[in-house]
Structure 1
Amino acid sequence: MLFSELKCKDVINVRDCKKLGHVCDLEFDECSGCICKIMVPGGNQWLGFLRCEPNIVIPYKDIRQIGPDIILVDINC
């Protein structure tokens, strides 16, 4: 899967069924090439340019499923 495909998917928290946003960045291990974390913008998405909240960082282990349209995650927020 390409990053351009990944960042178009909605990220949904299965604990409260809330949409967290779209993937804006990711962190990967240089040695193994595996994804360690994905990042979703924090705060109000409509006023993103005014946002001062940090990104929501989601460890790869908390990703439950990556589907054709959404990414399901299980996090406390």
Structure 2
Amino acid sequence: MGFSELREKEVINICDGKRYGHPIDIELNDQACAVALVVPSQTGWKGMLRSVREGIVIPWSYVRRIGDDVILVELNASFFQNC
């Protein structure tokens, strides 16, 4: 599955049901394997500007399932304490 397909799916946290929107970027390692998804930051007024490319980096190990329409991630409270 390519990034063009991934960015069509909505990212949802299974811990609290929060919707993070669609991935805006993907981080790859030296072997071109995905290591993280980047989703839009929803904090403050910058989150409303489409030209702002800052976001929340979600390590690939937090991705639990990729479905037809959604990407389910598991982000508990400790994840946000480490940000």
TM-score category of the 2 structures, normalised to the smaller one: 0.7 to 0.9
Indicate the SS of the match to 1:61: helix
User: Normalised by the size of structure 1, how large is the TM-score?
Assistant: 0.83
Secondary structure of 2:26's counterpart equals: strand
Kindly, what percent of the aligned residue pairs are identical? 40
Output aligned runs, 1:33-52, within 5 Å.
33-43=32-42, 47-49=48-50
The aligned counterpart of 1:3 is 3
Kept after mapping to 1: 8 A contact 2:28/2:36: yes
Larger relative helix fraction: 2
For residues 7 and 15 of structure 1, the distance between their equivalents in structure 2, rounded to whole angstroms, comes to: 21
Write the distance in 1 (CA, Å) between the matches of 2:23 and 2:6: 7
Task: List gaps (5 residues or longer) in structure 1.
Answer: none
Q: TM-score with structure 2 length normalisation? A: 0.77
Deviant stretches of 4+, over 6 Å: none
Instruction: Please report the RMSD computed on the Cα atoms of aligned residues, expressed in angstroms.
Output: 2.3
